[in-house]
Chains A and B, each alone.
Chain A
Amino acid sequence: MQSLHHLFGIADLDTDQVEYLINLGESFIDINHRPLKKAPTLRGKTIINLFFENSTRTRTSFELAGKRLSADVINISASTSATKKGESLLDTGQTLAAMQPHVLVLRHSVSGACEFLADYLGHTSIVNAGDGGHEHPTQILTDLLTLRCAGGFIGKTITIVGDIAHSRVARSHLLAARLMGYQVRLVAPKTLLPAEVERFGCEVFHEFDDAIPGSDVLYMLRVQTERLTDNCCFPSIREYHEAYGLNRKRLNAAAEGCLVMHPGPMNRGVEIATDVADSARALILDQVEHGVAIRMAVLTALCGGQQHLGRPGRSKQMVMEAMRGQGSLL
């Protein structure tokens, strides 16, 4: 299996790599339940979370993942950085890279921001924590780990509902489905579907009710209300909820074991009714929990420290070499 230097998206991974990251993530679930949530895996590693868009769960889970593995983690958000002074993404990225972190976790509104920045960053690994409407690979790995824990995803049908056109989560799932052997159905009006999306090999529905039978997972996307009204994508929240909201009636129409997922943050009463969100069939908080484990796995894989699991500390020389960016610790 090819080792990873960056994680830009599912598009750059092969089946073995996805499988490996999910397995590694699974092995990290346990740490998060221990009384002392700390392992030495990434001691001496520096991780910078650079977030140009707002985020609660992704940023926090990357931070916790790094800290629980003993890395030094720094968070920078656009509102408090020199971006406010007009500094470009490139300059901010290069400035941070000059401080020799091992990993830069980047969230940015421009699709391809990670690929773009990687050309200029030397040794620093980049993890895509969501780039525009392009990819959100750690969310998909999280979802797949969550589904594995809930009985598996191979051969299953995941029905993704909502603003597919602007969704990096949907796009990454469409890529992962082909790699990992599950089906994706998309449900949206044509105003919220990107061009030629069926070429991903998915089924496309405009009526939610038509897509429910045969679905193993109903995966609800967040509605960005300002986007809908500004771009004439939808007439009203009221009509959106009527057409595409997941309520108890729709959930009852689904197969008995059908699960509910949402990458968060939810708009209760818009794309998902409160009683559904809080029902036993909803895996939404499991997704959040597994997000920490997956991000531990990704950071570990990128830092080349996976073989350190359960092993005592490293020599001072190895740490120094790693800090100078001269290769991995192994």
Chain B
Amino acid sequence: MSAVDVVIRGGRVIDPANQVDEVCDLWITAGRIGGMGAFDGEAATMIDATGKIVCPGLIDMHVHLREPGQEWKEDIESGSRAAVAGGVTSMCCMPNTGPHIDHAGVALQIIARAQQVGLCDVHPIGAVTKNLDGKELTEMRELSRAGCVAFSDDGMPIWHAGVMRKALEYASSFGFMVIQHAEELNLTRGGAVNEGWVSTQLGVTGMPVEGEDSMIARDIMLARRIDARYHVAHISSKGAVDLVRAAQAEGLKVTTEAAPHHFALTEEEVLGFNVDAKMSPPLRTEADRLAVIEGLRDGTIDVIATDHAPHHEDDKRCGLSCAAFGIVGLETMLPVSLQLVRDGVLSMSDLLAKMTANPARLLGLDSGTLAAGSVADITLFDPDATWTVDRNKLVSKGKNTPWHGKEMTGQVTLTLKSGRIAYAEGEVCD
């Protein structure tokens, strides 16, 4: 047995990919998982994990890192630091950068920069269409070779049905997955919040739930004919969850993800014109929230992803209807999601699967597992520790969180990236 560098002792090790859930030691050799069980030997670093949960480093498959192009909002370094503070060791960044991730050079640049930072793996999502303008397909094969793990025009829907059909046909020819930001713009244009009683009280234009549902219904019809891999980003409505569930029951390759805010918050959050509760799709009704939770429970939604969308204060300080869409999420993803375990919706292992093994499987990543020989990306957290979110103490450059001042239960205590400590005791270890 080669020299052991790190031993994590006495934690509850949960590895959903390998159906492990037991209190044991976990050790690391040369940046990879050495094994788990009872360790009695010497190691350079011994970590006491008593009372902690030890799981694969989390994967967030829906993040906006803003680099290149909008580095004042976030960059790969600040985003990576925020990620490890939230226990995330792999993330997928969306292509609505400037320039867009619509040719290989941008993807290669992002990956190289992330490796240079060295805290968190960054896997780009390539654009489906050039300039995200919904007209011409990108060179998906080239983007894939450059490291893109899926394709999306996120931020914008692929609104044109003919283009969407061609995108699904082309992508599925090579096994690529298309991720849709489902929003029928002809229904949602000018909207700031969910359409309903809240938008009526605020006197702001609403975004009706049919904007999301109708596009998903259309896409599922197209995906059915093509047998394409189709993934719905940030699902937020009951109608959408029902559509995806029915598609899966048919055996279609349709998957989806939910963002913590869509199962933790409702549209009521924007009452008082709260710009930090404005995102797209918007927070919806309690019935929608419960439907998303049911989708998570029954497996219709097999991924939790944040849609981390950092914005500068200036983009939010202008009133609800002109404020930018989006909230930060990396640093609150785990504690907000843990409520699902406390509420008995999911077992701890099933919850963690949605942030580890499941996205790894969808995207073909080799992370998200604690199998011996895997890269040692590991997160330790105390499921019962409480802390209060302070927007000014977020590691991300984005301070736009709806949870400012709210108490969280569950706290990341240590993040290891390739066996190296990337975050410990509240500090990022650059």
Contact = CB atoms under 8 A, between A and B. Distances in A.
Contact of B319 (A11, A89, A171): A89
B211 interface: no
B385 interface: no
A196 B317 contact: no
A196 to B, nearest CB: 4
Given A110-B320, A132-B321, A134-B204, A115 B196 contact: no
Interface residues of A, number: 23
B200 A196 contact: yes
B206 A195 contact: yes
Nearest to B197: A196
B196 A110 contact: no
B32 to A, nearest CB: 51
Interface in B293-332: 317-322
B297 to A, nearest CB: 28
Interface size class of B (residues with CB under 8 A): 20 to 34
A199 B317 CA distance: 30
B251 interface: no
Contacts of A199: 197, 200
A88 B204 contact: no
Main secondary structure of the interface of A (DSSP, over half): mixed
A193 to B, nearest CB: 9
Q: Which of A89, A108, A111, A199 has the most CB of B within 10 A?
A: A111
A177 B65 CA distance: 48
A50 to B, nearest CB: 14
A116 B318 CA distance: 7
Interface string A73-94: 0000000000000001110000
B364 interface: no
A132 B200 CA distance: 12
Q: Which of A89, A108, A112 has the most CB of B within 10 A?
A: A112
Nearest to B195: A195
Contacts of B199: 194-195
Contact of A111 (B197, B318, B321): B321
A88 B196 contact: no
Nearest to A199: B197
A115 B271 CA distance: 11
B426 interface: no
Q: Which of B200, B202, B275 has the most CB of A within 10 A?
A: B200
Contacts of A134: 202-204
B41 interface: no
Contacts of B272: 115
Contact of B273 (A108, A111, A195, A197): A111
A89 B195 CA distance: 26
Contacts of B319: 89, 108, 110-113, 116
Given A115-B272, A195-B196, A199-B197, A88 B318 contact: yes
A262 interface: no
A135 interface: yes
B166 to A, nearest CB: 30
Interface in A118-153: 131-135
A168 interface: yes
A138 to B, nearest CB: 16
A115 B200 CA distance: 17
Interface string A97-116: 00000000000101111011
B200 A111 contact: no
A197 B200 contact: yes
Nearest to B196: A195
A135 B320 CA distance: 15
Given A88-B318, A110-B319, A196 B196 contact: yes
Contacts of A89: 318-319
B322 A110 contact: yes
A132 B203 contact: yes
Contacts of B202: 111-112, 134
Given A89-B318, A110-B321, A194 B200 contact: yes
Nearest to B272: A115
Contacts of B205: 133
A108 to B, nearest CB: 8
A201 to B, nearest CB: 12
Given A111-B204, A134-B203, A195 B322 contact: no
Interface of B: 195-197, 199-206, 208, 272-273, 275, 317-322
Given A88-B318, A110-B319, 11 more contacts: A88-B317, A89-B318, A90-B317, A111-B273, A111-B321, A116-B320, A134-B202, A171-B200, A194-B206, A195-B196, A195-B200
25 contacts: A89-B318, A89-B319, A110-B318, A110-B321, A111-B202, A111-B203, A111-B319, A112-B202, A112-B204, A112-B273, A115-B272, A115-B273, A116-B273, A116-B275, A116-B317, A116-B320, A132-B203, A132-B321, A133-B203, A194-B199, A194-B203, A194-B206, A195-B195, A195-B196, A199-B200
